[in-house]
Structure 1
Amino acid sequence: MSSGYGEFPGTRPRRLRATPALRRMVAEHRVHPADLVLPAFVREGAAEPVPLASMPGVVQHTRDSLRKAAVEALEAGVSGIMLFGVPETKDAVGSAGTDPEGILQVAIRDVRAEVGEALVIMSDLCLDESTDHGHCGVLDGHGRVDNDATLARYAEMALVQAEAGARVLGPSGMMDGQIGHVRRALDEAGHQEVSLLAYTAKYTSAFYGPFRDAVESGLTGDRTTYQQDPANAREALRELALDLAEGADMVMVKPGLPYLDVLRRVADEVAVPVAAYQVSGEYAMIEAAAGQGWIERERAIDESLLAFKRAGADVVLTYWAVEAARRAARG
């Protein structure tokens, strides 16, 4: 009797999809809680957490609620927390970013006191959260970001963040030479154990809008002169080679889903850990569509995270880190 399947009736890939247990056994990629890092915002002077309208479920933390969020992440099995500070006062040079008592440095100390080394404490090393013009560096007399003057500020930031207790620093401004400059500053100050997560391919993207709400950015103009052009992929490999030569311990592609091709190319090139950042706009899109009932929320979240793993990411920064970790732990 004919099977109705043609010439090769014994070849049926669907056999390995027949049950949930079988599909789980042969899955090529998995999201493990330890793969995930939680980005978190802390607002100076906040008396209670401030919800973000453009990112449902995400808040600007108080110092107390940030401590609780760090413990929650640790208990869920998340590996790290990436901290962003929102200072009350901003100025042209981002003074809060290099003040040992600035909100980000205070938050680093708070989280370190709460969780010790059990959670990897990561900090954003950039000026955009503390400058009144919203750019990632200091401006010259013509209103342009001054690359080399900004590097000096990054070195100062690196030292106060390391001294506050950050284990991993994330230079995210896309200044030429930032990894090498910060690495030298850290080493000369005796902070050889502090790692650098290079934002190797950070694209000038429309998907950062909700993040700018979260850090109350006063950005004027755009960042096209220093962040990478979305049209370019090979350029990311040039940035990658430079970051590795300058001493990057890990590298990252940001945003995530729109740049999976770049993520794959970077992962194929390196022997260091590769991270992807599922940015605020990606988060907001899924939450908004799910809120309208247009997509299945949990399935969409999990599918998006699997896409990063499939494309080669070892580490994923996502605002769903705790939720996704709990779901992954349940299998």
Structure 2
Amino acid sequence: MSDHETPIFAAARQASEVLRGDAPALPRPTETRIITIANQKGGVGKTTSTVNLAAALAMRGLGVLVIDMDPQGNASTALAVDHREGTPSSYELLMWEQAAEDLMQKSPHAERLFCIPATIDLAGSEIELVGLDYRERRLAEVLDKDDLASLGIDYVFIDCPPSLGLLTVNAMVAAHEVLIPIQCEYYALEGVGQLLRNVELIQQHLNPSLDISTIMLTMYDGRTKLAEQVAGEVRNHFGDRVLKTVIPRSVKVSEAPGFGMTILQYDAGSRGALAYLDAARELNGRDPRFGGDEDQTPDADPDRDATVASAGDGESNVEDGR
């Protein structure tokens, strides 16, 4: 934001740039980053964060692939790709029946945004995987960084189901980083301890290079003491792994998937859209090994959400996280 811009004007300008495709390109990572977004607790904004971070990065010139590993297929819906029964999907990827390149569908939301969808076939895959060789490494064996880089993919986001079963284990074995969304509400850290223990076991036995690189605070309501207290507790516990950008409660964010859109297509000027744009930029500017912010990381501004609200949609602070 320039010295002569008000926060409202800066928000409007940024939204306009995104919609026109004029937003400056972000620097490409030195190698393809494969990030699993996981939290076995439902309703924390996991799928919402997956698709909105992916769209934000793609609209800033980076190649992004979302692999939907949740049989519900919510990420596929938000990215407006076909995931009807019988559509080639992440199930075929896990079963080694088709290559990632052949399963990628281009999302209409951005020129460089792709998705391998999830279909109902994935629902029974955990039972099938039990009897297969390399059952924990099925996804890792078909995701090669060099192959992905040759396809122009800078980021792979793997959206997991809300469980710690074999689908999530496969996602973590295939990834280099884990991003954990944590909602700023009661019981925010409920279940996170078990997730951390599972990550540690995977590091020890299956994927030594896996790091919990990023924690994202979601559903932040700046009007409440509770949100502030939860955010403080999470930052005290995880330190620099927590993004400075917080995702506010926003009814627009919840409405967007129902229209087959991310928040950036549904309402680019909303508080939620601006927050995900900032979070994507910050994520891209961080060292994958626990922080290390670069110049492109936005400065922390606790008043920004309240200020931008008047430039956005006047929305009420209600959100049901996915």
Q: Which has the larger radius of gyration?
A: 1
Bigger relative contact order, structure 1 or 2 (CA pairs below 8 A, ≥6 apart): 2
Flag whether TM exceeds 0.5 (same fold).
no
Q: TM-score, normalised by structure 2?
A: 0.37
Q: TM-score, normalised by structure 1?
A: 0.36
